[in-house]
RNA sequence: CGGGGCGUAGCGCAGUCUGGCUAGCGCACCUGCUUUGGGAGCAGGGGGUCGGAGGUUCGAAUCCUCUCGCCCCGACCA
């Protein structure tokens, strides 16, 4: 066992919040002495932080094993050729950390693995050739490298992080679905056991479509992702993915006003125009020019809505959709960027459903420094197709029930994804079936950010005094806090209690520092160890110890006789609460 | 890569605008004494290339130029 006395380990707690840390998980991980920053996007795990990380890792490993996945460890160093074969050198771009190694008389171009589809698929291609060897799910827990151009939020977005990545290999889509479901269930157990309040959400699924991808989210104000959630039926989806419910809209009441062109010098954004003309963004139409497979089209949205390129691409049935270049915009609108509008526009016009309800709208004038007011559908402009083309928003109708959607920030802690044959095709991972036919292996991939489990937990479970660990992830389960470390009688009891708890398999830390009680209590609360045992000369006279849970305000007394068994029992009870 | 902020003792900060005695404060640290149930008191002490380089000046933490690093917002994110 490693040192389990405070004075023998390294727990550099900080009284004040370090400059540069802003969100709770970052501040508390630094203050509690869990991590130390090495550079932007890279941290050292100090003894306490490492213990928590190892516990999360262990839960992940246990549940992967239970689900039938097999652990291996792939190299972090990978040959660039493998990434070229799948086209991901370009796809990753600057994110892929790669460099050349000098070796006797030649150079070897390598990349540090940001994920391992290529490596694992190549491995399986080499060693699997028959349907008899499948299905197979392989996983590893390993440090991944991605050059984040802007690392941020402490441990939440770093260039080096610990990831569990699993890959399933099946002979059929049914097999893939079964493998996927097993991983999905394992993920639920993992996050449950970690004491996280998580939410599986439908995510952008790429080429396969359908329910081919889910993200596991922890709702937190500082999360970088946004999800919509319906409180009444439980529907949850990534913002990019989320459908919006029934939007059959009826036109707003009121008389049609005449179409009038106004001078709006220099106002090229919705915000500027609304300010100048004293109208609300929701009374405006945002006209965006896209190129769909090279053909310019116009997308009309209500001014306060955000375009969703994935939805636009699917609605058009196009392979690629991107915002048009300024040259194309000027050619089709005959105006500089910022003044596009539907009136007189001659390219195909697609509109989001909500545009149909707008009456007397403010739109671009297709002329420099001009906007129209009083624009109305049919009379002043027409739309070729209506569709769902925008991101969902708070208070949109739920697509699954009569409820309304709520918009939340969230931290992505896991992602499960049905890959299909993208990598097995490119890397020729094939198998012979019963009829000796050569077929391509069907894959799934499944990731968990192990560091993010810790960060998300702290982000959502802390108070003004510090971290509040669940028993399952706490670096130590029990803190023994002798009040007078200088008193040999007190320390004798503390040492004995420590040794006996350790023998019972309890993770116990003895704060043997000769500090005033206040200092020890504050540090204990900051570090967040779930159960605190205080040994003072006062209680000791009556053969009593004091027992306090991190989550409770009041402490209770416990007779010294039989204390070890009682404490061990309390700890295992608390662990069990989260283990099923 | 665009916008903003910061860099002074281990940590948190003041001083910079308006250049001027020996660069300051709190915490932490060391020594001694007194204390001991929610970040103790007194006394004494150590610790600084003021991020770095160049320049202006009689004189630079302070003004100018360049540069490095960190943080935040945006863009980007299999």
What is the pLDDT confidence band of residue A174, given thresholds at 50, 70 and 90? very high
User: Over pLDDT 70: what percentage of chain A?
Assistant: 98
Q: Give, in Å, how far the C1' of B74 lies from the CA of A323.
A: 18
Count how many Cα atoms sit within 13 Å of the Cα of residue A8 in the half-sphere of its side chain: 8
Q: Give, in Å, how far the C1' of B31 lies from the CA of A158.
A: 44
Compute the distance between CA of residue A48 and CA of residue A122 in angstroms, rounded to an integer.
Answer: 38
Q: Give, in Å, how far the C1' of B66 lies from the CA of A83.
A: 40
pLDDT tops 80 at residue A517 = yes
pLDDT tops 60 at residue A580 = no
Alpha-carbon Rg for chain A, nearest whole angstrom, is 30
What is the reported pLDDT for A252? 74
Of A116-130, A196-210, A359-373, A436-450, the poorest mean pLDDT is in: A196-210
* A16 closest-nt by C1' vs CA: B12
Task: Tell me which H or E stretch contains A112.
Answer: strand A106-112
Q: Give, in Å, how far the C1' of B37 lies from the CA of A204.
A: 55
Pairing of strands A35-39, A438-440: unpaired
Residues 85-114, chain A: which have Cβ under 7 A from strand B? 91-92, 95, 114
Strand B nucleotides, any atom under 7 Å to a protein CB:
1-2, 5-6, 11-13, 26-27, 35-40, 69-78
What is the pLDDT confidence band of residue A325, given thresholds at 50, 70 and 90? confident
What is the reported pLDDT for A394? 87
What are the residues facing A548 on neighbouring strands?
A532
What is the pLDDT confidence band of residue A3, given thresholds at 50, 70 and 90? low
Question: In this structure, is the CB of residue A463 within 7 Å of any atom belonging to strand B?
Answer: no
Residues 163-182, chain A: which have Cβ under 7 A from strand B? none
What is the reported pLDDT for A278? 84
Question: In this structure, is the CB of residue A352 within 7 Å of any atom belonging to strand B?
Answer: no
User: Over pLDDT 90: what percentage of chain A?
Assistant: 70
CB A347 within 8 A of CB A296: yes
Per-residue pLDDT tens for A529-573?
999 999 998 889 899 999 999 999 999 999 999 999 999 999 999
pLDDT tops 60 at residue A97 = yes
| Averaged pLDDT of chain A | 92
Q: Give, in Å, how far the C1' of B8 lies from the CA of A101.
A: 42
pLDDT tops 60 at residue A2 = no
Compute the distance between CA of residue A264 and CA of residue A161 in angstroms, rounded to an integer.
Answer: 50
Q: How many other C-beta atoms can be found within 10 angstroms of the C-beta atom of residue A54? A: 14
Q: Give, in Å, how far the C1' of B39 lies from the CA of A483.
A: 15
**If you search the block for the tokens 């060693």, which residue do you land on?**
A127
Question: In this structure, is the CB of residue A195 within 7 Å of any atom belonging to strand B?
Answer: no
Compute the distance between CA of residue A305 and CA of residue A203 in angstroms, rounded to an integer.
Answer: 20
Residues A153-158: what's their mean pLDDT? 93
Q: Give, in Å, how far the C1' of B19 lies from the CA of A400.
A: 70
Residues A375-380: what's their mean pLDDT? 91
* A152 closest-nt by C1' vs CA: B71
What is the pLDDT confidence band of residue A212, given thresholds at 50, 70 and 90? confident
Q: Give, in Å, how far the C1' of B26 lies from the CA of A341.
A: 61
What is the reported pLDDT for A69? 98
Question: In this structure, is the CB of residue A239 within 7 Å of any atom belonging to strand B?
Answer: no
* pTM exceeds 0.90 for this model: yes
Residues 551-580, chain A: which have Cβ under 7 A from strand B? 555
**A383, two tokens:** 């739309």
What is the reported pLDDT for A282? 86
Compute the distance between CA of residue A415 and CA of residue A165 in angstroms, rounded to an integer.
Answer: 10
CB A341 within 8 A of CB A380: no
CB A453 within 8 A of CB A196: yes
What are the residues facing A478 on neighbouring strands?
A508, A531
What are the residues facing A213 on neighbouring strands?
A417
Identify the residue whose Cα has the smallest distance to the C1' of B71.
Answer: A20
Residues A45-56: what's their mean pLDDT? 97
* A445 closest-nt by C1' vs CA: B78
pLDDT tops 60 at residue A211 = yes
Burial category of A528 from C-beta neighbours within 10 Å (exposed 0-12, middle 13-18, buried 19 and up): buried
Residues 13-32, chain A: which have Cβ under 7 A from strand B? 13-23, 26
Q: Give, in Å, how far the C1' of B60 lies from the CA of A230.
A: 62
Q: Give, in Å, how far the C1' of B47 lies from the CA of A30.
A: 24
What is the reported pLDDT for A323? 81
Per-residue pLDDT tens for A248-261?
777 777 788 999 99
* A417 closest-nt by C1' vs CA: B78
Identify the residue whose Cα has the smallest distance to the C1' of B27.
Answer: A15
**A541, two tokens:** 């006279």
What is the reported pLDDT for A207? 53
Compute the distance between CA of residue A233 and CA of residue A170 in angstroms, rounded to an integer.
Answer: 33
Of A205-209, A228-232, A257-261, A273-277, the poorest mean pLDDT is in: A205-209
What is the reported pLDDT for A281? 85
pLDDT tops 60 at residue A71 = yes
What is the reported pLDDT for A308? 87
Q: What is the largest CA-CA distance in chain A?
A: 93
What is the pLDDT confidence band of residue A311, given thresholds at 50, 70 and 90? confident
Question: In this structure, is the CB of residue A521 within 7 Å of any atom belonging to strand B?
Answer: yes
Q: Give, in Å, how far the C1' of B1 lies from the CA of A95.
A: 14
Question: In this structure, is the CB of residue A38 within 7 Å of any atom belonging to strand B?
Answer: no
Q: Which of A194-203, A294-303, A330-339 has the highest mean pLDDT?
A: A194-203
pLDDT tops 90 at residue A240 = no
* A117 closest-nt by C1' vs CA: B78
DSSP A171: S
Compute the distance between CA of residue A171 and CA of residue A446 in angstroms, rounded to an integer.
Answer: 18
Residues 296-315, chain A: which have Cβ under 7 A from strand B? none
**A557, two tokens:** 């007394």
Residues A208-224: what's their mean pLDDT? 85
Look up the ipTM and state it. 0.94
Question: In this structure, is the CB of residue A415 within 7 Å of any atom belonging to strand B?
Answer: yes
Phi, psi of A357 (to 5 degrees): -85, -10
* A154 closest-nt by C1' vs CA: B71
* A545 closest-nt by C1' vs CA: B37
Q: Give, in Å, how far the C1' of B74 lies from the CA of A371.
A: 27
Compute the distance between CA of residue A394 and CA of residue A356 in angstroms, rounded to an integer.
Answer: 20
What is the pLDDT confidence band of residue A208, given thresholds at 50, 70 and 90? low
Question: In this structure, is the CB of residue A258 within 7 Å of any atom belonging to strand B?
Answer: no
Of A24-33, A288-297, A371-380, the poorest mean pLDDT is in: A288-297
What is the pLDDT confidence band of residue A264, given thresholds at 50, 70 and 90? confident
Q: Cα separations (Å) of A479 from A4, A116, A223, A535, A536? A: 10, 40, 31, 11, 14
Of A127-136, A176-185, A189-198, A268-277, the poorest mean pLDDT is in: A268-277
Question: In this structure, is the CB of residue A516 within 7 Å of any atom belonging to strand B?
Answer: yes
Q: Give, in Å, how far the C1' of B66 lies from the CA of A19.
A: 26
What is the pLDDT confidence band of residue A273, given thresholds at 50, 70 and 90? confident
pLDDT tops 70 at residue A579 = no
Collapsing DSSP states into helix, strand and coil, what is residue A168? Answer: strand
Question: In this structure, is the CB of residue A132 within 7 Å of any atom belonging to strand B?
Answer: no
Residues A373-400: what's their mean pLDDT? 90
């Amino acid at each position: 066992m490693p040192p389990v006395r405070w004075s023998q380990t390294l727990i550099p707690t900080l009284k004040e919040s370090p400059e540069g840390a802003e969100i709770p998980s970052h501040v508390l991980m630094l203050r509690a002495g869990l991590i130390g920053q090495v550079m932007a996007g890279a941290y050292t795990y100090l003894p306490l932080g490492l213990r928590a990380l190892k516990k999360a890792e262990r839960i992940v490993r246990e549940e992967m094993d239970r689900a039938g996945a097999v652990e291996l460890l792939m190299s972090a160093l990978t040959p660039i050729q493998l990434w070229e074969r799948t086209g991901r050198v370009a796809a990753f771009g600057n994110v892929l950390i790669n460099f050349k190694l000098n070796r006797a008389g030649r150079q070897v171009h390598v990349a540090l693995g940001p994920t391992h589809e290529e490596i694992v698929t190549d491995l399986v291609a080499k060693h699997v050739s028959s349907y008899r060897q499948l299905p197979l799910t392989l996983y590893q827990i390993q440090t991944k490298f991605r050059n984040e151009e802007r690392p941020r939020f402490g441990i939440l977005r770093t260039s080096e992080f610990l990831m569990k990545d699993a890959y399933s290999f099946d002979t059929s889509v049914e097999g893939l679905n079964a493998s996927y479901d097993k991983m999905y269930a394992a993920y639920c157990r993992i996050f449950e056991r970690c004491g996280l309040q998580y939410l599986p959400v439908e995510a952008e699924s790429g080429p396969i479509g359908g329910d081919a991808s889910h993200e596991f989210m922890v709702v937190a104000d500082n999360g970088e992702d946004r999800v919509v959630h319906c409180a009444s039926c439980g529907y949850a989806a990534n913002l990019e993915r989320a459908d919006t419910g029934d939007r059959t809209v009826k036109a707003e009441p009121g008389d049609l006003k005449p179409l009038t062109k106004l001078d709006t010098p220099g106002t090229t954004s919705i915000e500027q125009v609304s300010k100048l003309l004293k109208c609300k963004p929701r009374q405006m139409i945002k006209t965006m020019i896209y190129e769909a497979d090279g053909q310019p089209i116009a997308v009309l949205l209500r001014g306060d809505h955000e375009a969703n390129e994935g939805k636009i691409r699917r609605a058009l049935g196009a392979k690629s959709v991107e915002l048009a270049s300024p040259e194309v915009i000027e050619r089709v609108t005959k105006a500089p960027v910022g003044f596009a509008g539907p009136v007189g526009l001659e390219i195909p016009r697609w509109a989001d459903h909500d545009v149909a309800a707008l009456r007397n709208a403010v739109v671009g004038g297709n002329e420099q420094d001009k906007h129209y007011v009083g624009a109305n559908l049919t009379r002043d402009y027409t739309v070729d197709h209506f569709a769902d083309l925008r991101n969902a928003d708070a208070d949109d109708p739920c697509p699954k029930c009569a409820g309304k959607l709520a918009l939340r920030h969230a931290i992505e802690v896991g992602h499960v994804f049905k890959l299909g044959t993208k990598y097995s095709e490119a890397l020729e991972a094939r198998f012979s079936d019963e009829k000796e036919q050569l077929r391509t292996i069907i894959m799934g991939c499944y990731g968990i950010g192990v560091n993010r489990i810790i960060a998300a937990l702290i982000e959502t479970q802390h108070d003004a005094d510090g971290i509040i660990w669940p028993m399952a992830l706490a670096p130590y389960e029990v803190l023994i806090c002798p009040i007078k470390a200088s008193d040999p009688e007190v320390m004798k009891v503390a040492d004995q209690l420590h040794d006996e708890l350790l023998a019972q398999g309890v993770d116990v830390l003895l704060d043997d520092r000769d500090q005033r009680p206040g200092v020890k209590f504050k540090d204990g609360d900051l570090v967040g160890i779930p159960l605190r045992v205080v040994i003072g000369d006062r209680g000791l006279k009556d053969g009593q110890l004091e027992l306090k849970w991190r989550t409770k305000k009041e402490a209770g007394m416990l007779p010294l006789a039989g204390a070890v068994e009682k404490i061990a029992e309390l700890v295992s009870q608390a662990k069990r609460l989260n283990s099923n």
